[in-house]
Structure 1
Amino acid sequence: MGRRNFIKGMAAASAAVATPALALSEPAKGIKWDKQVDIAIIGSGFAGLAAAIEAKRLGGNNIEIFEKMAVYGGNSAINGGLFAAPNTPLQAKEGRKDSPDTMVADQLKAGRGIADEKILRHVAEHAMEALQMTLDAGAEYHPYLQQLGGHSVPRTYQTTVSCGGGITQPLLKECKKLGVTLSNRTKFEGFLLDEQGGVEGIKVRRGYYFGKEDGGNLEHIKVGKGVIVATGGFAQNINLRMAQDPTLTSEVGCTNAKGATGEAMLEMFRVGAVPVHMAHIQSGPWASPDEGGFGYVSNYSIYNFPHSIAVDRRTGLRFMDEIADRKTRADAQLERRDEQGNPNPPLMITSYKQSKQHPTAKKVLKYGVGWKFDSVEALAEHFGVPLAPLKQQIEEYNGYVKTGVDKQFGKNMAKAKGKYLEAPFTVVRLWPKVHYCQGGVQINPRAEVLNSMTGKPISKLFAAGEVTGGTHGVSRLGSCSIPECMVMGMTAARTILA
């Protein structure tokens, strides 16, 4: 009771800022059912859509996806559209050697010793299957691979529209084609439990409008085979994230959709799920303070980091490996301060010759969140950077491009080969934004939610994606969220229908 009251208190506190109403589970005994489904999927992002498609392919019927917001796709629709997988056709075409073991090793290093190796390995071994699902549904990717921070080899695909909508939209169409029932503006309100504490059904509020918690009509839905919770993280629940990390106040930006408030996760805790790694909340080191949300700069930066330098405006010098893991870079950026200790966002400097290759480059310049300079002198004057050290830094870095060895920070220079820093330059400012919650409910490699008292699965309760915790440890590598979401969503469907 003490644990449940504490968790209930956390949820009530979170409501003060993010205004999610506290869902309340209750016994199913005596409930009058309004509807019955075989599989209920809460959330319509990567995990939920992949789960529905896989369930239908395995012969499942009467499957319904419940989405609380007005549009489908959730936070997945506005993410970067970056998908990491080993042993892919593009790697074979480019002559890149990779394997699930190598991908897992990269992730374990970023996880700082507390990542879940079994789940990471399961995802890496099935990532190509998930990628193929997106291709079969009609997703389109750039014809080249990217090497994101912390990855030892290039293994990342990116959608041609440079956002997750390039995946969620084709998957959504596939769901409709397969006959999956889709319900938007339908908010999860709690579980309906059998006498043993297993899930027998769910409560939902249809006709829901975000922020108007008492609107719409409450329905009780009986679930025959299982509930898959795929509601994402809680990055927009400011009080809850501050309870884990007090520095993540409302002044800290966020890349997530407004619906990422975590009610379903909290309700799983209430019915016995294990909270894991709640304090590990990741900030994206590629974000810009000059635009809201994920914006245009994020994808631009991710693409250009391998052949760019990030410099401290006060010194004109580099201060980090531009493709280190996210936490390493975010921490380094947050240390850039002026004489009074106020944030002094560092600069990412790229040759225009290279930066213009990315599809968002034109928009970065068009909307004034990036700048183009014809000389290093003009760049230094605009941002108040000391000229002589900056010139020396650029010359020194170009030497690293030539030799392939970064003597300052040990950056992997493979993707920078032949890409010298030379005028004209494009520049963006960098400052981290809250992006991903490593914490959530504990699951096993079968996507079953585990009970905190028994360590065994809670009957008919499954979860996939960012709502789960423990998979990535301290820091998640970029482009590893989509394969995790999709593989574990597919896994949940396979487990249910096994």
Structure 2
Amino acid sequence: MSNIDLLGRRKFIAGLGIAAGAAVVAPAMAMSEKADGVKWDKEVEILIIGSGFAGLAAAIEATKLGAKDVHIFEKMSYFGGNSAINGGLFAAPGTPMQKKEGVEDSVDRMVADQMLSGRGVADEVLLRHIASHAVEALQMTLDAGAEYHPYLQQLGGHSVARTYQTAVSCGAGITQPMYKECKRIGVNTHNRSKFEGFLLGDKGEVVGVKMRSNYHFEEDQPGKVMNIRAKRGVIMATGGFAQNVDLRMAEDPTLTAEVGCTNAPGATGEGMLEMFRLGAIPVHLAYIQSGPWASPDEGGFGYVSNYSIFNFPHSIAVNRLTGKRFMNEIADRKTRADAELSCRDEKGNALPPILITSYKDSKVHPNTEKVIKYNVGWKFDSVEALAKHFDVPLEALKAQIAEYNGFVKTGEDKQFAKDMTMAKNKMIEAPFTVVRLWPKVHYCQGGVKINTKAEVKDSLTGQSIPGLYAAGEVSGGIHGVSRLGSCSIPECMVMGMTAARSLMKV
């Protein structure tokens, strides 16, 4: 890319800014520039921006393949990014636990499930690449010391049980052991380090970055900006933009600041935006997913989310206005989120539906005790007490429970065609545990276009931008309209590993 090309793209984006105003970009923008005459403050072999699943996996894989000087830079004061607070759910086909439990699965089957959820616009080639290497990524977490519950889960939209969950029921169960493994093998880690832009060679290749040290999120930036040269290349693992309200509203005006979000505060997208400046192809930015398992009674991801994810297969979601079910409790995320948002009172105001589970079945998950303890879930000894508390029509609710229990006995859901495999012998009966449901912004399907080498594609040339790789939520187009739950961790890790292999020429 020439100087003229780079400047031309900046003018083009600036022109868009005139029309769109501040709604396009909330954080202070980075700015890339030519490296001619730049004084390098530091030189590293591999430079990774972001310390979530993708960045950690890239660092471990690169070191395993012989890299001697790998550096991870993290914007926040803590490591792990958004990955540390996600649900810790990892889907993979053909795993040891599936074989132990007699679950028949394959790469083809997992990809087919994802393509269906993607509504016809998911990237089958990338999904197949990820599914084909998911077990390798899972093994990397185990080798690092991650521990998982001794059972599989069948999440919404998955045709079989293929999901592991960390023993601590959150992503920290993976990021913490992987971070420790990075330190053990000599990966250099830097927190409070904010990406300020790329530094480019004579042909437009990425040769380094500008990085601000001693950065304090949402505060003045007193630290020094350093020019860091990356001998092999730069891996962008900076995550999504769900916390950038202006940007997400530019793509979907309904996602205002009043809509909750499960993400860490640093998920603001400036790394993605700067790649667009270089000419990276924007893909599917308007596909922003809301989690149907979230609760309006707590902030962020909270305790209810994992509780609900575990219990959906053997629970009923009930519209409080009618006392009836209104959806397949294990449909894909978009289907369920849309169904929940349709639950309104007579005046059209939001009326969060309830998820009803038998306490004897819900208590298997460790979050059950927590949702009750922290008053974001309730336990009832009778259906009458439950109906009175939530002002649900009692007779309609009793009839619905009886009808559903009939489906449990026959193994066939005649209301919403829910797969009843995981509900076998699990009747809805007292005592009950109940939580309220309401979607929260959770995941950005959109980002920069990459290929199966994790290379970032150039919108003008159709070729890869030399020296630049991306992995994880910052990339786009992989999942299409709706991502299946537990498929982000394998995506992030496999593409992080892939980026490392590409840099190391493997």
TM-score of the superposition, structure 2-length normalised?
Answer: 0.97
Gap change, CA 1:83 and 1:210, over 3 Å in 2: same
Asked if 1:204 is matched to 2:211, the reply is yes
Pick one of 3, 14, 28 that aligns with 1:5.
14
Match among 174, 193, 198 for residue 200 of structure 2 = 193
Aligned-partner Cα distance in 1 for 2:16–2:84: 30
Q: Is the 8 A contact 2:359 2:433 kept in 1?
A: yes
Q: 1:4 is matched by which residue type in structure 2?
A: I
- Equivalent in 341, 344, 358 of residue 337 of structure 1: 344
Task: Indicate whether 1:232 and 2:239 are aligned.
Answer: yes
Deviations 1:133-177 (A, max 9, x none): 000000000000000000000000000000000000000001001
Equivalent residue number for residue 461 of structure 2: 454
Residue identity in the other structure for 1:367: Y
Which one of 285, 294, 310 corresponds to residue 287 of structure 1? 294
Deviations 1:199-258 (A, max 9, x none): 011000000000125321100001111100001000000000000000000000000000
Distance 1:14 1:216 in 2: 27
Q: Tell me, what secondary structure is at the counterpart of 1:134?
A: helix
2:445 aligned with 1:438, yes or no? yes
Q: CA deviation at 1:11?
A: 9.7
C-alpha spacing 1:7/1:274, structure 2 compared with 1 (3 Å): farther
Name the structure 2 match of 1:382. 389
Distance 1:451 1:7 in 2: 19
Structure 1 residue 473 corresponds to structure 2 residue 465:
no
Q: Quick one: which amino acid aligns to residue 164 of structure 1?
A: G
8 A Cα contact 1:277 1:470, kept in partner: yes
Residues in 2 aligned to 1:10 and 1:492: alpha-carbon distance in whole angstroms: 36
Paired with 2:16 and 2:454, the residues of 1 have a C-alpha distance of 23
Residue 69 (structure 1) aligned to one of 65, 76, 80: 76
Question: By how many angstroms is 1:341 displaced?
Answer: 1.2
Cα deviations by residue, 1:8-55 (Å, 9 ceiling, x for unpaired):
669972587x5x211000110010000001110000000000000000
Counterpart position of 1:41: 48
2:370 to 342, 363, 370: 363
Partner AA of 1:5 in structure 2: A
| Pairs within 5 Å for 1:31-430 | 31-430=38-437
One-letter amino acid of the counterpart of residue 213, structure 2 = R
* Residues 6 and 407 of structure 1: CA distance in aligned 2, closer, same or farther (over 3 Å): farther
- Hey, which bits of structure 1, 4+ residues long, moved more than 4 A? 6-12
TM-superposed CA distance for 1:370, in Å, is 0.3
Percentage identity across paired residues of the two chains: 71
Structure 1 residues 164 and 336: CA distance shift in structure 2, 3 A? same
Separation (CA, whole Å) in 2 of partners of 1:147 and 1:296: 19
Distance 1:163 1:7, change over 3 A: farther
Give the AA of the match of 1:447. Answer: A
TM-score (norm 1): 0.98
Structure 1 residues not aligned, in runs of 5+:
none
CA RMSD of aligned residues (A): 1.2
**Partner amino acid for 1:366?**
K
Gaps of 5+ in 2: 1-7
User: How many residue pairs align between the two structures?
Assistant: 496
Instruction: Answer whether contact 2:23 2:249 (CA < 8 A) is retained.
Output: no
* Equivalent position SS for 2:180: helix
Which position in structure 1 is the counterpart of 2:4? none
